[in-house]
Chains A and B, each alone.
Chain A
Amino acid sequence: MARALINVPAKSKRGEIIEIKTLMSHPMETGFRPGMDGQLIPRDIIEKFVCTYNGEVVFSAQLYPAITANPFISFTTIATDSGTLVFSWTDNKGDMQVQTASIQVE
């Protein structure tokens, strides 16, 4: 069900610093909140975010219950070669969402 918005510059020059932005649709339910019935709503959060660039990890992050719903993560890397960026978000049940973007480096 989850969806993500990703922005990677479609083209860039070799050696250039590029900014990558990701916005993931996710409730980030902390597990600390009682629901209407007084029972705690089970925890449902993304725990790990990883971005690989042509197979190499260029950014990763560990997420915790205090992080907002629909987490926005932005970071920079250096455009080295044309290829593929793979983004993955893994939740506390171990389910992984994967999305890819391609980049052209001249």
Chain B
Amino acid sequence: MGPDTQAMQKDDLANPGMLSVLEGDALWKAPVGASQKSCASCHGDAPQTMKGVAARYPAFDEATQAPIDLAGRIIQCRAERQGAAPPQREGRELLALTSYVAHQSRDLAIAPPQDSRLASARAQGAALYSTRMGQLNFSCAQCHDDNAGGHLGAAPIPQAHPTGYPIYRLEWQALGSLQRRFRNCLSGMRAEPISAGSADAIALELFLMDRAAGMKIETPAVRP
């Protein structure tokens, strides 16, 4: 990431991701759905109650007995606890709420839950990461471990850390999730994209969060 992009990310007034955080703040306080409750009705003041939450997701969900990502948890609260229409993955509302919640963990170290029920999904994510896929027969690891710091065309190859999500990506001209980022790389590999919220996507996210343990959350990050 070049110095211009870094400067844009660091200045909350120039970082376009902050617009989404601002929108999330308004959504957090707005009563919706059959319950006419807002997120704040149950969770109170987000800077206190949501601090550190994003740093320990994906987590194990008791209700479905499966790993759940932060966006999935928010969909669950909105649909089941607020009685509102479940927000669309990659939709503006969910991205705003997710960036608002994740922003409350900015500068905190990623601390994946030490929950043995997550181990098999994490291992599945690790396997996916090093499996060759698609017509180009690349694995994630070949670029992001073996060639990190190099270039793919003009783009520097990063280490694939999930620290800044949802990110504002200049190429997208919009905010997007980690799982959208996966789909970008997968289509670059000419492999079948993994759908958002699927077990594979959450497994990859679990693995990457574990791999980035101790690194600081940057949400909302700006990326080229």
Contact = CB atoms under 8 A, between A and B. Distances in A.
A and B held together in a complex: yes
Interface of A: 3, 5, 7, 21, 23, 25, 27-28, 68-70, 72, 74
Interface residues of B, number: 12
Nearest to A72: B14
Interface of B: 12-16, 18-19, 22-23, 170, 173-174
Contact of B14 (A3, A23, A27): A23
A18 B6 CA distance: 24
A72 B11 CA distance: 12
Contacts, number: 35
SS of B interface (majority): loop
Contact of A23 (B16, B23, B174): B16
A7 B13 contact: yes
Contacts of B12: 5
B13 A69 contact: no
Most buried by B among A3, A21, A23, A27: A23
A5 B22 contact: yes
B22 A70 contact: no
B173 A23 contact: no
B13 A70 contact: no
Contacts of A72: 13-14, 16
B19 A25 contact: yes
Contacts of A23: 13-16, 18-19
Given A69-B173, A74-B14, 17 more contacts: A3-B19, A5-B19, A5-B22, A23-B13, A23-B15, A25-B16, A25-B22, A25-B23, A27-B173, A28-B173, A68-B170, A68-B173, A69-B16, A70-B19, A70-B173, A72-B13, A72-B16
